Amino acid sequence: MKIIMLGAPGAGKGTQAKRIAAKYNVPHISTGDIFRANIKNNTELGQKAKAFMDKGELVPDSLVLDLIMDRFTEDDCKNGYVLDGFPRTIPQAEALSDALKANGEKVDFAINIDVPDENIINRMGGRRACVGCGATYHIQFNAPKVEGVCDACGEKLILRDDDKPETVKNRLNVYHTQTQPLIDFYEKAGVLVNIDGTQDMDKVFADIVKVLG
């Protein structure tokens, strides 16, 4: 079962990807994890990626795809995988589709966690991070026992810059411009599944399981 997760930043796709991976015993693969693993293990692909990252440049699509296709050859991917964070653009989606087709494979499901922008802005604006241990909270859904203080280490909680409304709006604009066209791409391919992401997390997961079987 080869699954791609789609959805705006803050839609909860990472959380659902982990749950899908655990239930169906397939790996949750994020591009960030692949980069870190290859750089840590000093692989040839990792060295190439690091050269771009050290200069503050984006890793080229072709190299990202090589890293991902290399990850798919590992034993834990034999029953499939949940891919999170790639593809982000139509050229990436087309390249992935071609690379899979060359191996006689294809994406089985593209799961789009659909959440309106205003919900995401409110959701992310309520997140708080501990300056000490990095623990995360939400003032509405997962509040600390004492307002502004971390339950775990007692340090202060802050609203991170990337969770501030103006930053979230910018991230959503980038998402709508670059990534939203993927929804049409996978709909045309006949593999798109739209899930209402405004529901309780357990209900979102239950809806996904209904589709996956």
Q: Which residue in the list 18, 50, 164, 171 is annotated as catalytic? A: 171
Verify whether residue 160 is a known catalytic residue: yes
Query: Does 171 qualify as catalytic in the annotation?
Result: yes
Q: Among residues 18, 48, 50, 88, which one is catalytic?
A: 88
**Residue 192, SS3 per DSSP:** strand
Annotated active-site residue 36? The verdict is no
Identify the burial level of 128 via C-beta atoms within 10 angstroms of its C-beta, where 0-12 means exposed, 13-18 middle and 19 or more buried. Answer: buried
Catalytic site residue 123? no
Active site residue 164: no
Single out the catalytic residue among 2, 13, 71, 123: 13
Output the CA–CA distances (angstroms, integers) from residue 155 to 134, 161, 163, in the order listed: 10, 18, 19
Catalytic residue among 160, 169, 203, 210: 160
Give the CA-trace dihedral at 205, 118, 181, 72, to 10 degrees. -40
Q: Is 86 exposed, middle or buried (0-12, 13-18, 19+ CB in 10 A)?
A: buried
8 Å CB contact between 14 and 30: yes
In residues, how long is the chain? Answer: 213
- Show the tokens assigned to 140: 């509405």
DSSP 23-86: HHT--EEEHHHHHHHHHHTT-HHHHHHHHHHHTTPPPPHHHHHHHHHHHHTSGGGTT-EEEES-
Q: Which of 2, 19, 71, 127 is catalytic?
A: 127
Positions annotated as catalytic residues are 13, 88, 127, 160, 171
